[in-house]
């Protein structure tokens, strides 16, 4: 009982003192509170609105036939394209694009209708500004759909000319395909990637904030204001007290990120917030353990900002958002498996976008708890042997006398 009481008293002292130290450290406050509140909004605004509409286009019509005019009318009727007008030649159209009066040029060559009438391939060339991929995607989708629709109509006319009764036999599409996106109804890039990026932001903020605290422990306390003797008698008590402090500080930013940011930008919100918070609990403690391991490699506070730039892209690649995890080589798949963010992104996207319950993401949830235990065990070893044994302060000796 005496050892248990000492453990609890030391843990509580570490918890309270860490609160005071964190609240007086602008760098740590930046990572724990400011970045989770500001970064999701900045990233979401980059791709807002998600779907571009009525983007201006200039047409060069060297054919000037009813078919070419029909092609232009059909393009102008699409939501993605607004045919601003015609240009006499390509240099005039380029000047309009250089002045940002348009973002695409459609060139219809001479003989376009004549080739179609002879059942030959008729090409129309589109030049697109690649400064924003969303515009390029809109132009590509619009031109592809219009060309396919016009090609189907022309083919039907040829069939009816050869066999007049064919139109009475086959009407419409025998096997219609309707695409209903479940997790991303709007079909936008922001709704696709941001739910996973939110988890990556939370993951990086936790790891790098704890890394910055580790760098402060190795610098002079007169310069950083951080007391390196904020330890209990036990290494595990010190880690647990600090982890509970960080977890308390992250409750409000986490709720803001996974609930209010999707609400503000109309991202998918099919999951239950309390189940999502319960799912992110083991991820948070796994990140705490990873942060304690990271402290062994941080010699000064400023090196954390370099680590932010280097590791952010790596964790994004390993998360499976832009590179499917099932298509990774065994080495990269193994690295992805030991990253808490990879399992958290996979499970959170299923819950947030597709409405899965925590029991339906049981495999990801179990893996996060395994990583939480593994990384905290590794953090224990790093704190005990690389960061040095915790030095007992006067408060620790007072705890022993009190117990």
pLDDT in tens, 60-110: 988 888 888 888 999 888 888 999 889 988 989 999 988 888 899 999 888
**pLDDT value of position 164:** 59
Contact yes or no for 265/350 (Cβ under 8 A)? no
The percentage of the chain sitting over the pLDDT mark of 70, rounded to a whole number, equals 81
Residue 117 CB contacts under 8 Å (≥ 6 apart), including other chains: none
Distances (CA, A) of 12 to 16, 251, 257: 6, 19, 28
**pLDDT value of position 374:** 95
For residues 21-41, average pLDDT: 83
**pLDDT value of position 301:** 76
Dihedral sign computed on CA atoms, order 216, 220, 225, 231: positive
Q: Alpha-carbon distance 103 to 58, whole Å?
A: 8
Given pLDDT bands bounded at 50, 70 and 90, which one contains residue 399? very low
Is 81 strand, coil or helix?
strand
Is 39 strand, coil or helix?
helix
Give start and end residues of each alpha helix (H) in 55-188.
Answer: 66-76, 90-98, 112-117, 133-162, 166-169
**pLDDT value of position 296:** 82
Distances (CA, A) of 402 to 9, 14, 97: 9, 16, 78
Residue 180 confidence (pLDDT) above 90:
no
Greater model confidence, 89 or 48: 89
Contact yes or no for 18/245 (Cβ under 8 A)? yes
For residues 194-204, average pLDDT: 89
**pLDDT value of position 186:** 64
Greater model confidence, 263 or 157: 263
**pLDDT value of position 402:** 44
User: What is the 3-state composition of the chain as percent helix, strand, coil, each rounded to the nearest 5?
Assistant: 65, 5, 30
Among 203-207, 227-231, 250-254, the least confident range: 227-231
For residues 23-32, average pLDDT: 82
Looking at residue 51, the DSSP 8-state letter turns out to be S
Residue 141 confidence (pLDDT) above 60:
yes
57 torsion bin: left (phi>0), alpha (psi -120 to 50), beta (else): beta
**pLDDT value of position 176:** 59
Average confidence score pLDDT of the chain: 81
How many C-beta neighbours within 10 Å does residue 402 have?
Answer: 9
**pLDDT value of position 165:** 54
Given pLDDT bands bounded at 50, 70 and 90, which one contains residue 340? very high
**pLDDT value of position 398:** 45
For residues 106-128, average pLDDT: 84
56, β-bridge pairs: 82
Angle between helices 133-162 and 66-76 (to 10 degrees): 140
**pLDDT value of position 182:** 67
How many residues are given for the chain? Answer: 403
**pLDDT value of position 361:** 92
Contact yes or no for 71/150 (Cβ under 8 A)? yes
For residues 344-351, average pLDDT: 92
Given pLDDT bands bounded at 50, 70 and 90, which one contains residue 300? confident
Terminal Cα distance for the chain, rounded: 9
Q: Which two tokens mark 338?
A: 């030991």
Q: Alpha-carbon distance 196 to 205, whole Å?
A: 14
The distance from CA 257 to its chain's CA centroid, rounded to whole angstroms, is 12
Greater model confidence, 16 or 387: 16
Residue 368 confidence (pLDDT) above 50:
yes
Helix (H) or strand (E) holding 185: none
Residue 51 CB contacts under 8 Å (≥ 6 apart), including other chains: 134, 138, 186, 187, 188
Greater model confidence, 99 or 397: 99
**pLDDT value of position 220:** 56
Residue 202 CB contacts under 8 Å (≥ 6 apart), including other chains: 36, 250, 253, 254, 257, 280, 283, 284, 287
Given pLDDT bands bounded at 50, 70 and 90, which one contains residue 58? very high
Residue 375 confidence (pLDDT) above 90:
yes
**pLDDT value of position 403:** 43
């Amino acid at each position: 009982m005496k050892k248990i009481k000492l453990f609890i008293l030391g843990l509580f002292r570490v918890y309270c003192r860490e609160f005071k130290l964190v609240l007086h450290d602008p760098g740590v406050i930046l990572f724990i509170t400011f970045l989770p509140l500001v970064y999701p909004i900045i990233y979401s605004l980059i791709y807002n609105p998600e779907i571009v509409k009525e983007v201006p286009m200039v047409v060069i019509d060297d054919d000037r036939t009813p078919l070419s005019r029909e092609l232009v009318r059909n393009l102008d009727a699409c939501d993605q394209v607004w045919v601003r007008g015609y240009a006499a030649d390509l240099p005039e159209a380029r000047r309009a694009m250089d002045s940002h009066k348009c973002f695409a040029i459609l060139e219809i060559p001479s003989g376009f209708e004549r080739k179609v009438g002879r059942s030959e391939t008729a090409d129309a060339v589109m030049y697109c500004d690649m400064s924003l991929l969303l515009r390029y995607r809109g132009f590509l989708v619009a031109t592809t759909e219009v060309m396919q629709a016009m090609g189907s109509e022309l083919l039907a006319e040829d069939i009816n000319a050869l066999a007049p009764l064919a139109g009475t036999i086959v009407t419409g599409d025998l096997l219609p395909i309707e695409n209903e996106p479940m997790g991303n109804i709007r079909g936008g890039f922001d709704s696709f990637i941001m739910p996973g990026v939110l988890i990556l932001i939370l993951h990086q903020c936790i790891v790098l904030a704890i890394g910055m605290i580790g760098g402060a422990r190795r610098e002079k306390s007169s310069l950083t204001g951080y007391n390196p003797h904020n330890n209990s008698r036990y290494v595990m008590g010190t880690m647990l007290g600090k982890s509970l402090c960080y977890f308390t500080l992250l409750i409000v930013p986490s709720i803001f990120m996974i609930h209010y940011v999707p609400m503000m930008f109309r991202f998918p919100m099919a999951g239950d917030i309390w189940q999502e918070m319960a799912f992110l609990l083991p991820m948070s403690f796994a990140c705490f353990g990873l942060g304690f391991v990271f402290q062994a490699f941080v010699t000064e506070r400023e090196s954390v900002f370099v680590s932010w730039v280097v590791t952010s892209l790596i964790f994004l690649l390993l998360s499976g958002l832009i590179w499917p995890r099932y298509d990774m080589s065994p080495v990269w798949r193994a690295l992805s498996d030991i990253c808490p963010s990879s399992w958290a992104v996979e499970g959170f996207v299923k819950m947030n976008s597709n409405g899965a319950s925590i029991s339906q993401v049981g495999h990801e949830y179990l893996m996060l708890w395994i990583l939480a235990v593994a990384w905290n065990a590794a953090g224990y070893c790093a704190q005990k042997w690389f960061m040095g044994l915790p030095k007992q302060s006067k408060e620790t000796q007072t705890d022993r006398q009190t117990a």
